[in-house]
Amino acid sequence: MPPIIILSAVVLLFIIFVAFGFRLISQSETMVIERLGRYHRTLDSGINFIFPITDRTRTIEWKYIKADVDGKTIVRKGTIKRIDLRETVYDFPRQTVITKDNVTIELNALLYFQITDAKRAVYEINNLPDAIEKLTQTTLRNVIGELELDQTLASRDTINTKLRAILDDATGKWGVKINRVELQDIVPPDQIRDAMEKQMRAERDRRAAILEAEGKKQASILQAEGLRNAEVEKAQGEKQAAILIADGQAEARIRTAKAEAEAIRLVTESLARTKTDPAHYLLGVKYVETLREMVSGKNNKVVYLPFEATALFGSLGGVRELFQKTDEKRV
């Protein structure tokens, strides 16, 4: 009986030892093991065994920030044994920050960080979530305090990059890597928001007026260019018409001259057979035509006599003077 009891006690102790020493670690998780109060090792994912009498798991304080049904932020604190190595998101409550131009604004920041060294996260800092939160708040106040309100509203990317660089450098010794920092909300005071809205409306009205003026200016320019092009085309058309008319008149004169030359040639040939001087014939024709044009008017009251008739009347005047002189001698 005693050997059986001893064997049973050994088996029971072995089962208890295995049960308490067995650790199953999931992927992307780890545990820090201490032996006799000192750091022993960090467990990897998978099946692990520890000596339950001398080894124990080191706990770490953690904080959970969640939102309830009404949208209010709930902060829950506690201790954990399993350290999550995945990226963690912290949504910090709103905090009041004063800008360089003494404007009080409210900020809400999101922080994405990841534990890269579990040993440092446990032994280098007490209460890692609180340390990261306080460091983020103080750094955010320092960064915003160097900027004016307009720069803060327009330089979110610059602020995020600067915050990430500062926080990543400060938390590196804690075994933490800051991957990203985002400013979720920037809420200025009500008076500032009203002034900004008025300024925005004034700026939009100014832009609308500028665009309208530019549109009218462009329309005037296009209209002036259209009128100028129309005048140029009209002048070119008139020029082309004048050229065509001149060409037509020149062609008509050339054809008329050719016809007259042909007529003169034919008259000359005809008069050559009758032995008549062509020049006398042509002068006579021109004399008759000119005389016809002179007396062709309807209201013309002037009487024209041929050159031969004036010579005749001149002779008659001489005879009248001769008779007048004869009568004087008789008297």
| Same-domain check for residues 64 and 176 | yes
The predicted pLDDT at position 294 comes to 65
Higher local confidence (pLDDT), 163 or 324: 163
Q: Which residues are within 8 A (CB) of 160 and not within 5 positions of it... i.e. 6 or more apart?
A: 180, 181, 182, 183
Q: In Å, how far are 71, 120, 235, 265 from 289, measured between CA atoms?
A: 118, 132, 41, 20
CA distances from 233 to 238, 241, 247, 306, 310 (A): 9, 12, 21, 55, 60
Q: How far is CA 228 from CA 223, 242, 312, 323, in A?
A: 9, 21, 69, 82
Are 113 and 175 within one domain? yes
Q: Among candidates 198, 50, 43, 37, which has minimal Cα distance to 123?
A: 37
Angle at 298 between CA 295 and CA 301, to 5 degrees: 65
Residue 229 inside a domain? The answer is no
Host domain of residue 179: 60-188
What average pLDDT does this structure show over 259-267? 74
How far does CA 223 lie from the centroid of its chain?
Answer: 26
CB atoms within 10 A of CB 299: 4
User: 10 and 122, same structural domain?
Assistant: no
Task: Answer whether residue 1 shows pLDDT above 70.
Answer: no
For residue 197, the model assigns a pLDDT of 78
pLDDT reported for residue 44: 87
Question: Are residues 10 and 77 part of one domain?
Answer: no
Q: Is residue 314 part of a domain?
A: no
Backbone angles phi and psi of 72, in degrees to 5: -80, 150
Count of Cβ atoms closer than 10 Å to residue 265 Cβ: 11
In this predicted model, which residue has the larger pLDDT, 119 or 75? 119
Would you say residue 204 lies in a domain? no
Asked if 167 and 78 sit in the same domain, the reply is yes
**153 and 182 share one domain:** yes
Same domain, 24 and 131: no
**Domain edge (last residue) among 121, 153, 188:** 188
53 phi/psi in degrees, rounded to 5: -80, -40
pLDDT on residue 313: 47
Given 57, 74, 101, the domain boundary residue is 57
Domain annotation covers residue 268: no
Q: Is the pLDDT score of 97 beyond 50? A: yes
Res. 314: pLDDT tops 80: no
Residues 36 and 135 in one domain: no
What is the chain's mean pLDDT, rounded?
78
Q: Which of 155, 188, 221 is the last residue of a domain?
A: 188
In one letter, which amino acid is 34? Answer: E
Cα–Cα distance, 144 to 97 (Å, whole number): 7
Considering the domain architecture, whether residues 180 and 81 belong to the same structural domain is answered as yes
Domain for residue 226, yes or no?
no
pLDDT at residue 318 in the model:
43
In terms of Cα–Cα distance, which of 65, 32, 76, 27 is closest to 47? 27
Evaluate if residue 205 carries a pLDDT over 60.
Answer: yes
- Structural element, H or E, at residue 149: helix 149-154
Beta bridge partners of 106: 96, 187
CATH code of residue 89: 3.30.479.30
Cα 258 to its chain centre, rounded Å, is 72
pLDDT in tens, 282-313: 666 666 667 666 666 666 666 555 555 554 44
Report the half-sphere exposure of 22 (CA within 13 A, side-chain side). 7
52 lies in the same domain as 69: no
Task: Please count the structural domains in the chain.
Answer: 2
Tell me, yes or no, whether 75 and 157 share the same domain.
Answer: yes
User: Is 155 inside a domain boundary?
Assistant: yes
Does residue 309 or residue 68 have the better pLDDT? 68
What are residue 48's phi and psi, to 5 degrees?
-135, 155
Report how far residue 89's alpha carbon sits from residue 277's, in angstroms, rounded to the nearest whole number: 129
Answer yes or no: are the C-beta atoms of 86 and 28 closer than 8 Å. Answer: yes
pLDDT (tens digit per residue) in 23-58: 888 888 999 999 888 999 998 888 888 888 888 888
pLDDT at 78: 79
In a domain, 298, yes or no: no
Question: Mind listing the pLDDT tens digit for each residue in 139-184?
Answer: 888 888 888 888 888 888 888 888 888 888 888 889 999 888 888 8
Q: Supply the pLDDT for residue 312.
A: 43
State the residue for tokens 């005047």.
317
User: Does any domain span residue 258?
Assistant: no
**pLDDT confidence of 74, banded at 50, 70, 90?**
low
Same domain, 93 and 179: yes
- For the stretch 115-126, pLDDT in tens is 999 899 889 888
Residue 177's identity, in one-letter code, is K
